[in-house]
A and B are shown apart, each in its own frame.
Chain A
Amino acid sequence: MNAEANCNRLGLSKNDYSGKPSTLCKGCGHDSITAAIIQAYYELGVPPHQVAKFSGIGCSSKTPTYFIDRGHGFNSVHGRMPSVATGATIANKKLTIIGISGDGDTASIGMGQFCHMVRRNVDMVYVVENNGTYGLTKGQFSATADVGSVLKKGQVNPYPVIDCCSLGVELGATFVARSFSGDRKQMISLLKAAYAHKGMAVLDIISPCVTFNNHEGSTKSYTFVKEHDIPLHELGFIQSKEEISVEIKDGERREIELHDGSRLTLRKLDRDYDPTNKIAAMATISESRDKQELITGLLYYNDKGTDLNTLLNTVDVPLWSLGEKDLDPGAEVLKKINASLR
């Protein structure tokens, strides 16, 4: 990208990736995620008109209006965004699809659709803006609240947590990552890699709710998350079109080559972690949860998946663009069908 001209490879400025002003509470983690999306897509040089933004219902689902105004957006039904996004990618495989959901939207009402979208390996970036609480209905627990976490009014959550990442890995997601809305650099690297990945990329981003879930006793407060955030590795992203000019720091470093030729670089921090090992990923997520550690980074990656449109083996042009010439089987075919029905 051309930093001097404040333009990306398409000659677009960051403003071309902006959206409407946020109407969320001041300091909401979701706004940091929005900013990271704008930055990542701007730096990547994603054609904004190709972006289709999807969401369900909830605070998180309001955010697609806050970024990439030049892309179409669809704020659908609570928990059912996956099916809408799936339909859109089938109709137009050229779209760049990003879905924004929340923990209620994904892990409660939308659990079924989330699972099946992962199973189908829909080629999209799916962000769970996870604050462990229902913000828009004023602070009830969500299913991603940790057991023992405390509500603002004092109730303690007795139920075990649903972990969207371990669920994603289990269901065969090919890209699973966790991040923290306070770690802008990590979020941007992961968002870029998720975009470059062909297939379902699940990003569970812990995003504290400043109004209803930021108090002592909450395991999703800024203070708690900051204290317990353990990045698995330091991430860097090299776009396919860029020269390799990343400075190699001390420590072990590995690269993951993504489908479009981009690379995600992972520099080892304090532990060995292989994100391509499914069993190890499951174990690490589970153990860290038990220790109340919030591990962040690329948790699982698999380059062997086949995305839905490839599985459906549809023609290269978007299905919507086909007209009579392509779709009408004609009189002769109907004549034969009639003949077979006598």
Chain B
Amino acid sequence: MASGQPIINDVSIRVATSNGTGSQSSNNLLYKSLFRMGIGVCAKNLFPSNIQGLPTWFQIRVSPQGYQDLREHDDIAVCMNPETAKEDIAAMRPGTTIFYNSSLIKLTEDQLKPGMSIYALPVEELAKSITDTKLRNLLKNLFYVGALSHIYGIEIDVMKSVIQDTFKSKQSAIDANIAALQIGIDYAKANYKKTDNYVFQRANTNQGKIIIEGNTASGLGAIYGGCTVVSWYPITPSSSLAESMEGYLKKIRVDKEGKAKYAVIQAEDELAAIGMVLGASWAGARAMTSTAGPGISLMHEFLGLAYYAEIPAVLFNVQRVGPSTGLPTRTQQCDITSCALASHGDTKHILLFPSSPKECFEMGAEAFNLAERMQTPIFVMSDLDLGMNSWVDDELEYKPMKYDRGKVLSVDDLNKVKDWGRYLDVDGDGVCYRTLPGTNHMKSAYFTRGSGHDEYARYTESPVVYTRNMDRLLKKWHTSKQYLPKPVIKGDVNAKTGILAYGTSDHAVVETMDRLKDTPVKYMRIRAYPFTQEVEEFIKSCDVVYMVEQNRDGQLQQLLETDLPGYQNKLRSIRYYGGFPLSADIVERELTKKMGK
């Protein structure tokens, strides 16, 4: 044991490997074992746009509070990739710990910093004992897991249970994995003297928690929200949303005869994907697509049609770093304006900002009610960090949902109404009544078009009618506010300093708030666009408001300044757009700098 006090369940680990070598399952074993020991843990995968060979990092952060954002600097580096070892080691600060593959990486004196703990792991030599050459390269990743578990105290039985659940009935795989893990443990036992202070101890942080990716949760939300038609085109980081959703649909949405109560189509491109969604929604089904920024760009023309012809749609936008191909495996909140104002002409859309898998599930379901109620596209604005990383979050909660199919007239309804026009604002809320194709009534049919139309869906180029229609669409957009998820407020309600954030920035801001507990600050997490009344009231009640965003141009702030003019002089920006998940270290640093502390 090292000299200092033990540091229990509070450490940041960075594992450097190379893509496609099978390290992902070793990292998950590490992550899940800590989770099952009840320890507050968060993990993120920092990976390249590549299938095999390029460097990749897996970061595990352990904290008593179970924070779901990373630290900027790590305490333990596991350097298994000789390609990046030099930089990985250089990034480590004095007093930190380094595990390294001593078969491939030569560590020299000049690389070391004061107080560092060094553990050498001769991976290639140890691998020689694995006779199956095919499996050797995969299994050798387990050595570092074994070594770490010995030094820091991850329970072997817990690790075995994770391996068993991963490989289920494949006993030979279970045995091979456990044997490889043991090689790492045995080596550590025989060769290491613990020189650092980090320790894992059983805790009780994960009661009622699960490990889930945002994309999986979004897909499940859509299933519980009654979605029946999915049309999508593969794009990182959204592909796993549609794929995992289809996996669940096959199991839980099939009738007794084996017939599907859903349809999933992999479209030829994003244009077709949204086209099918609109066709299906127009015909009355709950339909969705999932995509990322470049896909949204391709969908813009159709989104204008959906807005103007008033067709429901649900889009999951799992944002990644743009513009263009950008950094396709990195995260950002960079499609806020492109979605809020998607398409040519005057358009304004409705956005939801989930910040956790649980919210992906809830908003993923509710989006379909909103879409049908408001007869317009609803964007669920996830991001790569949320969508593709495995989060520790509250388990998904079942709430029996009443589907709100919106203002749809049946044959009986049509018998009762005297006068029906597709775009007639009968209720004064901007939302009109529609009929579905196939409705057997003389008055049922109407013609949907993207060209100018009057209240009865007839073609017109009349300036008066056009203006009236556009004004009604704006009214409808304002009407939507009452149905949108309200913002969440935390902190000192009497504080005059406010923070505004949305989506995944939440986790870094919440941790920052904890750190600033002696400073009077309040925090509002915005959960939807258009902004509801509460947002304006919050800004009004503050002398200064720091707006945290993961993009260069302050995209939500732009919308705020347009929609709630007059508060510009109160707003300050904290923007991070490097592509890694936002850390409280960055928010705290920028905030204290800007607050003049």
Contacts and interface: CB of A to CB of B under 8 A. Distances in A.
B276 A341 contact: no
Contacts of B253: 327, 329
B517 interface: no
B285 A314 contact: no
Contacts of A334: 220, 224, 396, 398
Contact of B450 (A50, A77, A116, A320): A77
Identify the interface centre among A75, A90, A323, A324: most chain B CB within 10 Å of its CB: A90
A325 to B, nearest CB: 10
A246 interface: no
Contacts of B248: 337
Interface stretch (B67-75, B255-263, B478-486): B255-263
Interface string A292-321: 000000000000000000001111101111
A49 B283 contact: no
Contacts of B265: 86, 90, 120, 312
Interface in A103-139: 112-113, 115-116, 120
B445 A70 contact: yes
A77 B307 CA distance: 13
A261 interface: no
A165 interface: no
B210 A342 contact: yes
A185 B188 CA distance: 88
A335 B210 CA distance: 11
A247 interface: no
Contacts of A154: none
B448 A74 contact: yes
Contacts of B464: none
B280 A77 contact: no
B441 interface: yes
A172 to B, nearest CB: 15
Nearest to A319: B228
Nearest to A84: B279
Contacts of A281: none
Contacts of A49: 438-441, 444-445
B421 interface: no
B437 interface: yes
Interface in A86-108: 86-92, 94-95
Nearest to B408: A320
Interface centre among A64, A85, A321, A334 (most CB of B within 10 A): A334
Nearest to A315: B259
Nearest to B361: A334
A313 B265 CA distance: 12
Nearest to A48: B445
B272 A83 contact: yes
A52 B438 contact: yes
Contact of A74 (B223, B228, B279): B279
Contacts of A320: 228, 280, 283-285, 436
B465 interface: no
A133 B161 CA distance: 69
B14 interface: no
B259 A88 contact: no
B267 interface: yes
Contact of A318 (B252, B284, B447): B284
Interface string B385-402: 000000000011010111
Interface in B249-289: 252-253, 255, 258-263, 265, 267-269, 271-285, 287
A53 to B, nearest CB: 8
Most chain B beta-carbon neighbours within 10 Å: one of A52, A69, A323: A52
A80 interface: yes
B442 interface: yes
A318 B285 CA distance: 9
Interface in B226-246: 226, 228-229, 231
Given A90-B285, A327-B226, A338-B396, A113 B268 contact: yes
A87 to B, nearest CB: 3
Contact of B226 (A85, A113, A324): A324
Interface in A177-214: none
Contacts of A65: 447, 459
A83 B279 contact: yes
A328 B275 contact: no
Contact of B262 (A83, A87, A88, A319): A319
A342 B211 CA distance: 6
A91 B277 CA distance: 9
Contacts of B440: 47, 49-50
A342 B446 CA distance: 51
A168 interface: no
A251 interface: no
A148 interface: no
Given A324-B402, A331-B398, A337-B396, A319 B263 contact: yes
A314 B260 CA distance: 4
A116 B278 contact: no
Interface in B407-423: none
A322 B261 contact: yes
A227 interface: no
Contacts of A3: none
Interface string A42-70: 00000101101010000000001100011
Given A49-B440, A72-B446, A313-B259, A88 B224 contact: no
B450 A75 contact: yes
B275 A91 contact: no
B92 interface: no
A337 B249 CA distance: 12
Contacts of A50: 438, 440
Contacts of A337: 220, 248, 396
A314 B285 CA distance: 13
B280 A90 contact: yes
A80 B226 contact: no
A166 B110 CA distance: 71
A122 to B, nearest CB: 10
B278 A84 contact: yes
A283 B322 CA distance: 48
Contacts of A71: 437, 445
Nearest to B216: A341
Given A116-B268, A319-B263, A77 B301 contact: yes
A54 B276 CA distance: 13
A80 B300 CA distance: 13
A94 B435 CA distance: 16
B223 A329 contact: yes
Given A70-B442, A314-B263, A86 B276 contact: yes
B228 A322 contact: yes
Contact of B400 (A76, A328, A342): A328
A52 B212 contact: no
Contacts of B441: 49
A242 interface: no
Contacts of B260: 312-315
Contacts of B263: 90, 312, 314, 319
A77 B281 CA distance: 16
B433 interface: no
14 contacts: A49-B440, A49-B444, A72-B436, A75-B451, A86-B265, A91-B228, A92-B436, A116-B268, A318-B438, A319-B262, A323-B226, A341-B211, A341-B395, A342-B211
Interface of A: 47, 49-50, 52, 54, 64-65, 69-77, 80, 82-92, 94-95, 112-113, 115-116, 120, 312-316, 318-324, 326-331, 333-335, 337-338, 341-342
Interface of B: 35-36, 209-212, 220, 223-224, 226, 228-229, 231, 248, 252-253, 255, 258-263, 265, 267-269, 271-285, 287, 301-302, 305, 395-396, 398, 400-403, 435-442, 444-451, 459
Q: Which 3 A-B pairs have the closest CB atoms?
A: A87-B279, A83-B275, A320-B284
Given A92-B283, A324-B403, 15 more contacts: A71-B445, A72-B436, A77-B450, A83-B271, A83-B279, A90-B265, A91-B229, A92-B284, A112-B269, A120-B265, A320-B283, A331-B398, A338-B210, A338-B395, A342-B36
